[in-house]
């Protein structure tokens, strides 16, 4: 699920879903740390390694980060080497820096658009309607 410093302020998986999963002992795959690079375009005063550290600080089983080049790989290794659990004050400070950029979900396209919705772009993946659906469904024009 998307877990990043922007998520904490808008339709938050970290606040709305993560506690339930942890309580049920369900493994959590944290992803979208950079929102496919879109979050980095926000110009929020947050370093990429801080984005990674925030996600790593959440109760996840793993944090997935995209590795498109050697620089991304080196950054991921550096984040792992330098990570220390953040206290509440450090988390609050980091979230205060992201808040002005995050309130409307502008940089979380996976929440606010169909940009990353493969099914929306490939309706055939849903398959044919089961019998009776056409009789029940409203007419879409």
Per DSSP, the three-state class of 68 is coil
Instruction: Tell the burial category of 61 from Cβ atoms under 10 Å away from its Cβ (0-12, 13-18, 19+).
Output: exposed
How is the chain split among helix, strand and coil, in percent rounded to 5? 50, 5, 45
pLDDT by residue for the chain (141 residues), tens only, comes to 899 999 999 999 999 999 999 999 999 999 999 888 888 999 999 999 999 999 999 999 999 998 899 999 999 999 999 999 999 999 999 999 999 999 988 888 778 777 777 777 787 887 877 777 777 777 766
Which residues partner with 30 through β-bridges?
63
Q: What is residue 54's predicted lDDT score, i.e. its pLDDT?
A: 97
Cβ atoms of 60 and 3 closer than 8 Å: yes
Whole-number Å distance between alpha carbons of 39 and 47: 11
């Amino acid at each position: 699920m998307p877990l990043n410093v922007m998520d904490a302020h808008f339709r938050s998986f970290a606040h709305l879903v993560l506690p339930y999963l942890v309580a049920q002992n369900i493994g959590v795959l944290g992803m979208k740390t950079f929102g496919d690079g879109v979050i980095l375009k926000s110009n929020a005063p947050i370093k990429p390694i801080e984005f990674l550290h925030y996600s790593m600080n959440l109760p996840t089983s793993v944090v997935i980060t995209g590795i498109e080049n050697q620089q991304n790989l080196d950054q991921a290794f550096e984040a792992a080497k330098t990570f220390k659990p953040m206290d509440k004050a450090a988390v609050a400070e980091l979230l205060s820096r992201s808040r002005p950029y995050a309130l409307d979900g502008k940089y979380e396209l996976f929440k606010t658009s169909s940009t990353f919705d493969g099914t929306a772009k490939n309706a055939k993946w849903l398959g044919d309607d089961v019998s009776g659906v056409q009789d029940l469904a409203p007419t879409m024009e």
